[in-house]
């Protein structure tokens, strides 16, 4: 999962004041203040071009009809002609400020743009056409933060939010006093916690794209399900344009990943996996949960078994790195079967009896008997830091920190590298 941002700095410099009664103390700290952009300027920035742009940063991925769509965080969506995975072609770019997630159904690509939902006609994937936008449908969405400082909650959600759309952060140093006598510390950031959110195809005869395990968008029964912070939104896709079908559905925990399997939604959260039934697509119903130690994780499900990774890191709250498997044949009573120690696992995917895992590169396992106390390793490919992947049609497409890697796994005894598109380095 993507990240958890605590709204109190991890590094504080405490300066004792020389107050006569020693009842006050001065705190100097750093905090992220939002950067605003005029709403009209923000929405005018959408641009589609058939001129390829170099990819600089890993993001989420979607595969559809031979094309791979790669979201570069906050910048837009790269279009890769992957009909020949041995020689993929970077053929275009959708400039879309604030994009993180996407899903594709029947030649329409739906994507977030911070607080908006935008969609494009990709009947010709090399020449997408802007098709529409719903303004301010994700009002709580915020840009990711790439440091350990907190955010100014009041500036983000108070009256100043009317200044425009938040498109970034500016680190500011502040010095403020608190009163020891009245009890405890004065936390100017209110001690809040903000979770920055980080699919399978269930089509009913429609053509759906295939998402990686880090996605917050999922498709089911002509509906698009999205999770932002601690609520779910549902959009009806049966008409000419998406329509928000019901009011936001509170989830409780902030959801970071979403995976559709049969008539259930499996959600990754900082403390475990949640299962919601969508048998009634417009009335998701909580079924159960499986808890784990505080951490970052995606989830995928195959043959009634859920595979969940938990990884450590500065934003994840702990140092455990694990893969665990859960029997979800009865979604009311899921049973945790086994846990495996890993190095630092992230995205994962399954094709038939093969599990592909981003961990210390790429690990591939045979999961014919996944409930056993060991995993049958097929191959371990090192040399990159994998983030997420899609396994489809005997081709493994993996996005890593430094590039897009592809492998042919049609012969499990001879898995072959097909191609690499290296990302551009920031100057």
**Roughly how many angstroms between the first and final C-alpha of the chain, as a whole number?**
28
Residue 389's pLDDT is what?
97
CB 321, CB 29: distance < 8 Å? no
User: In 3-state terms, what secondary structure has residue 261?
Assistant: strand
Tokens of 309: 């990774």
User: In 3-state terms, what secondary structure has residue 160?
Assistant: helix
Q: Judging by DSSP bridges, how do beta strands 116-121 and 129-134 pair with one another?
A: antiparallel
**Tens-level pLDDT at each residue, the chain (427 residues):** 333 333 344 444 443 444 445 556 788 999 999 999 999 999 999 999 988 999 999 999 999 999 999 999 889 999 999 999 999 999 999 999 999 999 999 999 999 999 999 999 999 999 999 999 999 999 888 888 888 888 998 898 877 667 789 999 999 999 887 655 444 433 343 333 332 333 344 444 568 999 999 999 999 999 999 998 889 999 999 999 999 999 999 997 778 899 999 999 999 988 789 999 999 999 999 999 998 655 557 999 999 999 999 887 645 455 678 999 999 999 999 999 999 999 999 999 999 899 999 999 999 999 988 777 678 999 999 999 999 999 999 999 999 999 999 999 999 999 999 999 999 976 5
pLDDT, one tens digit per residue, over 218-243 is 999 999 999 988 899 999 999 999 99
Tokens of 84: 């020949």
pLDDT, one tens digit per residue, over 64-99 is 999 999 999 889 999 999 999 999 999 999 999 999
**In sequence order, what are the residues at sequence separation of 6 or more whose Cβ sits closer than 8 angstroms to the Cβ of residue 287?**
264, 275, 276, 277, 331, 332
Tokens of 392: 């489809």
Place of tokens 């983000």: 156
The residues facing 219 across adjacent strands are: 224
Using CA atoms, how far apart are residues 213 and 236, in angstroms rounded to an integer? 23
Q: How many CA atoms does the CB half-sphere of 182 hold within 13 Å? A: 7
pTM across the whole model: 0.86
Q: How many CA atoms does the CB half-sphere of 300 hold within 13 Å? A: 26
Residue 295's pLDDT is what?
57
Go through the domains of the chain in sequence order and give each one's CATH number.
3-40+143-194 (no CATH), 47-95+99-139+200-422 (2.130.10.10)
Tokens of 233: 């939104």
In the DSSP assignment, the letter for residue 159 is: G
Which residues in 89-105 are b (16+ Cβ under 10 Å) and which e?
A: ebbbbbebbbbbbbbbb
In the DSSP assignment, the letter for residue 311 is: B
Residue 189's pLDDT is what?
36
Place of tokens 């779910």: 232
Using CA atoms, how far apart are residues 39 and 25, in angstroms rounded to an integer? 40
């Amino acid at each position: 999962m993507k990240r958890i941002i605590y709204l109190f700095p991890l590094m504080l410099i405490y300066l004792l004041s020389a107050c006569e009664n020693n009842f006050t103390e001065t705190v100097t700290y750093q905090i992220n203040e939002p950067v605003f952009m005029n709403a009209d300027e923000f929405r005018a920035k959408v641009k589609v071009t058939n001129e390829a742009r170099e990819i600089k940063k890993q993001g989420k991925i979607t595969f559809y009809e031979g094309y791979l769509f790669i979201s570069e965080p906050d910048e837009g969506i790269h279009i890769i002609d992957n009909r020949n995975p041995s020689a993929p072609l970077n053929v275009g770019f959708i400039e879309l400020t604030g994009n993180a997630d996407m899903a594709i159904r029947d030649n329409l690509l739906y994507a977030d743009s911070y607080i908006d939902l935008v969609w494009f006609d990709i009947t010709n994937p090399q020449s997408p056409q802007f098709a529409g936008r719903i303004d301010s449908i994700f009002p709580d969405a915020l840009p990711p933060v790439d440091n350990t400082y907190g955010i100014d909650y009041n500036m983000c959600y108070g009256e100043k939010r009317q200044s425009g759309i938040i498109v970034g952060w500016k680190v500011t140093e502040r010095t403020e006093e608190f009163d020891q006598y009245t009890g405890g510390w004065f936390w100017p950031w209110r001690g809040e916690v903000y979770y920055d959110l980080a699919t399978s195809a269930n089509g009913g005869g429609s053509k759906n794209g295939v998402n990686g395990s880090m996605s917050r968008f999922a498709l089911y029964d002509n509906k698009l399900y999205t999770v932002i912070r601690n609520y779910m939104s549902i959009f009806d896709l049966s008409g000419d344009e998406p329509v928000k079908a019901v009011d936001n559905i509170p989830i409780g925990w902030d959801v970071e990943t979403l995976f559709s399997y049969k008539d259930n939604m499996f959600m990754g959260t900082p403390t475990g996996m949640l299962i919601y039934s969508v048998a009634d697509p417009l009335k998701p119903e909580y079924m159960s949960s499986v808890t784990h130690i505080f951490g970052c994780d995606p989830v995928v499900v195959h043959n009634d078994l859920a595979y969940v990774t938990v990884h450590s890191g500065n934003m994840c709250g702990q140092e455990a790195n694990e893969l665990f498997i859960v029997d979800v044949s009865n979604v009311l009573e899921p049973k945790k079967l086994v846990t495996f120690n890993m190095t630092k696992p992230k995205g994962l995917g399954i094709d038939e009896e093969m599990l592909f895992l981003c961990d210390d590169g790429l690990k591939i396992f045979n999961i014919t008997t996944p409930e056993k106390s060991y995993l049958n390793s097929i191959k371990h490919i090192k040399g990159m830091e994998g983030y997420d992947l899609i396994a489809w049609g005997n081709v493994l497409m993996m996005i890593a920190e430094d590039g897009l890697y592809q492998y042919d796994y049609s012969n499990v005894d001879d898995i072959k590298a097909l191609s690499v598109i290296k990302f551009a380095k920031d100057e």
